[in-house]
Amino acid sequence: MEFVTITAGDLTARIATYGAELWSLTDRSGREYMTDADPAFWTGHAPILFPIVGALNGNRYRLDGHEYELPKHGFARHSAFEVVEASECAVRLRLRDSAETRNAYPFAFVLDLVFRIEGATLHVEAEVANPGDAPMPFSLGFHPAFAWPLPGGAPKAEHTIAFEQAEPQPIRRIDLASGLVLPEPVPSPVEGHLLHPDASQFVEDALIWDHLASRALTFGTPGGSQLAVAFPDMPMLGIWQKPGAHYLCIEPWQGHADPLGYSGDFRAKPGMLSLAPGASRRFRMDVTVLTAD
């Protein structure tokens, strides 16, 4: 496994070139804000979800009369990215289509991940470009697993997620047998702006907001360690952990898993975008450590 380390101001980040995955985010005191990746629960850190988010019905999709197979969350997280630009405080990693990707996803693409530190903020930007001659359907998501509890000594039970806006709308849950989105929404666990995360909430997999009002939130304990997470380009959100693990995934998404029983065309899948030939689209996530010394 090869890594790139960037640092500036209050933060240092370590990114794996395999999957363009953020493995570590520490402050100037060396405190770690990312998952411990305990293999008893989950060894992921912050996978990039492309060209789909979540699972497909039977891991297969239909497009223009053909059928293709893609694993949950797509192939970017299991692909080697190339370092195309690097400095002390920033790095750009790139994944291009190949014969292997076109067998599963028949489109030319360029996927860049740019990580940049500015003060106490890690900026992460995904840029998707379509160099081909046909409209390109895709979804994209971030999947960072933050330490829970965050460094600073406060117990898990005191951590909250404070949404930018009130989130009273119902949420979606996952069918455990298939990994697909159940048809009936369920009441929101958010009280006004606040979610009090608890391991019991994740026994039935992720909490999914498919009509999210907020584009930012704060995770942590008032007066203690906190992370401000902004995702201005992402209209959906998943929050997940393996119950009892030492992380909480806060996942801004464009797209989600297939609805249960979905058999329609890939382009009509909920949450899919279509990128015109020659066009590109950017998706940003900013993580600010509010309590860095």
> pLDDT digits over 137-179, tens only?
999 999 999 999 999 889 999 999 999 999 999 999 999 999 9
Q: Report the alpha-carbon distance of residue 102 to residue 273 in Å, rounded.
A: 18
Tokens for 211, please give them. Answer: 């009509």
The reported pLDDT for the residue numbered 157 is: 95
In this prediction the pTM is: 0.97
Averaged pLDDT for residues 251-279: 97
Tokens for 133, please give them. Answer: 């001659």
The reported pLDDT for the residue numbered 292 is: 43
Handedness of CA 103, 57, 129, 132 (dihedral sign): positive
Averaged pLDDT for residues 175-196: 97
Q: Report the alpha-carbon distance of residue 105 to residue 75 in Å, rounded.
A: 9
> pLDDT digits over 63-120, tens only?
999 999 999 999 999 999 999 999 999 999 999 999 999 999 999 999 999 999 999 9
The identity of residue 43, as a single letter, is: T
Tokens for 178, please give them. Answer: 């298939």
The reported pLDDT for the residue numbered 9 is: 83
Domains of the chain, CATH where assigned: 3-289 (2.70.98.10)
Q: Report the alpha-carbon distance of residue 81 to residue 91 in Å, rounded.
A: 12
Q: Report the alpha-carbon distance of residue 96 to residue 264 in Å, rounded.
A: 27
Q: Cis bond leading into 277, ω under 30°? A: no
